[in-house]
Every structure is written in structure tokens, then in C-alpha cells.
Amino acid sequence: MSAALALLASALWGTSDFLGGTVSRRLRAVQVLAVSQVLSCAVLLAVLGSGLGRGAGAPVHAWLGWSLLAGATWAGAMAALYTALARGTMGVVAPIAAGGTVLPVLLGLAAGERPAPLQLAGVAVALAGVVASAGPDLRGGSRGQGAAIALALVAAVFFGVEVWALARGSAASVPATLLGMRVTSAALVVAAALAARGAQRVGARDLPPLLALGVLDLAATAAYALASRGALVSVVAVLASLYPAVTVLLARQVHGERLRPVQAAGVVAVLAGAVCTSLG
């Protein structure tokens, strides 16, 4: 069951990233995040209902800090990712952002942990894949592509922290952690949207895709949180880290994106590195 939930999270995250990047080509990323997060908060409250009281029975200190950290880093990661997806090549940006799965391993090294050889190999392979997939776009001299790669790297760092915090908080309470995370991220992105000036207004025709985006991401996060409770986080992360493959396929089919051979090899290397890091 946990494996199925992790695969479901991967498919939903990949689809939501594609949809978010596509909508962000018309609206500002902060607008996309603000509206979709407010809508997803409303959906979450409606779904949880009285179930929130049962799920929040765990001590507040066991999940509150983790949910706040997860919400803040998620907001930063998604703002960077959607902007990168709108400016750059989705098939390159999405796998680089997914490389954030190596961050927990690096943090463990700094804290004195000793990762397995396979994990260290995975980190090296993932970093090599980032260089291979991003190199042609950086050498091409396009400021937009270079900025997209930089933002994807920022998103990767934030995603690494967010996934780690989400799993820690969910160990105490899945619904409370999800709600705390959503409220935190919604407050941050709404504040940023209100501070932004000169942005195009969000029209009625934008609401359906934004609602779909919020629900897809919410469902993916819930599936991952539930999967992490029923199995080792390292195993769940392997399956959930495959979501960029969905984004790459959708970008190829809908937007007609084509990668250079070295970029395609880099994308595969990033995904393989993420899997090896989690398996170790």
C-alpha cells in the first residue's frame, strides 16, 4: 500500500509541476501559488472536517515546528520552481529540482553520519547529471535559461528540507502537519502576492486550472505523508522521486520540448542518482 501511495504521489506531483509551470507562463508564479494554495486550504478543511480533531491528538510540539518549516520551504521551493518552469526547458528544470533528495544525505554527513557507499555514489551521479543537463543551456548564453537553472537549484535545496520536515511532522500527525504546512505556505505566498505590483489580474478562466493545481499538489503531499508512515522513508523517497519523469513526458507531448542527447543523459543521471541516494 505504501509503495502504491508513493507512486501516486509521484504521478500527481509530476502533473502539478507541469500544470503550475504552464500556468506561470501567463500569470506570475506568486499569483499561481497564492490562489492555488488558498483554494487547496479550503479543500483540505472540507475534507478533514472532524477528522482533524482525531489526527491532531498528538502533542502540538511534535508536529507544529516541522509543519511550519515544511510550509515555509515548500513556498520558497514552488515559487522558484514555477518561475524556472515558465522561463526554461521543463525537461531540464524538473529533474534538477528533484535532485534535492540528495540534501538529507549531505546534511547527515555534516552531522557526522556515515552514509552507505551507494548513497555517496548517488550524490555524485546526481550532481554530474545536473551539470550535464544544465550545461548546454548555460553555454548557450541565454539569460533566461541560466536564470531557470539557478532557480531550479534553489528549488532543489528547499525541496530537500521540505520533504525531510514533512516526514518528521507526519510521524506524529499527518492531518495536523498537512494543515499547518498549507496554512503557513498560503500565508507566505498571499503576502508576497499582495506585495507584488503590476501583476495581471487573475480572471475567472484561471480559477479551474489553479484549483486543479492546488488539489493535485495537496493530494500528492497527503499520499507521500501517508506512505512515509507505513514504510521506511528511504524506500518511499525512491518511488516519489520519480515525479520529474511525468513532467518531462507531459512537456514533450504538450509543448513539443526536445532535449539534446547530453541533456537527456543528464536527466536520467539525476533520476538514477536520486534513486541510489534513497536506496542506500
Half-sphere exposure of 126 (CA within 13 A, CB side): 28
| Residue labelled with grid coordinates 533566461 | 144
pLDDT for 53 equals 47
pLDDT for 157 equals 92
Q: Provide the CA 143 distance to its chain's centre, in angstroms.
A: 24
Distance from C-alpha of 30 to C-alpha of 34, rounded to nearest angstrom: 6
pLDDT for 234 equals 57
Q: In 10 A of CB 205, how many CB atoms?
A: 7
pLDDT for 199 equals 63
Distance from C-alpha of 249 to C-alpha of 235, rounded to nearest angstrom: 24
The grid cell for 37 is: 494554495
Q: At what angle do helices 90-98 and 2-23 cross, to 10 degrees?
A: 140
pLDDT for 120 equals 74
For residue 126, the one-letter residue type is: A
Distance from C-alpha of 18 to C-alpha of 55, rounded to nearest angstrom: 31
Residue ranges, the chain, pLDDT below 70 = 3, 49-58, 104-109, 111, 113, 115, 130-131, 133-144, 197-199, 231-239, 277-280
pLDDT for 121 equals 82
Q: Provide the CA 251 distance to its chain's centre, in angstroms.
A: 17
pLDDT for 70 equals 94
Nearest residue to 115 via CA among 260, 278, 272, 243: 278
pLDDT for 214 equals 92
pLDDT for 181 equals 93
Nearest residue to 24 via CA among 216, 213, 219, 259: 213
Structural contact between residues 193 and 30, judged by C-beta atoms closer than 8 angstroms: yes
Distance from C-alpha of 116 to C-alpha of 100, rounded to nearest angstrom: 18
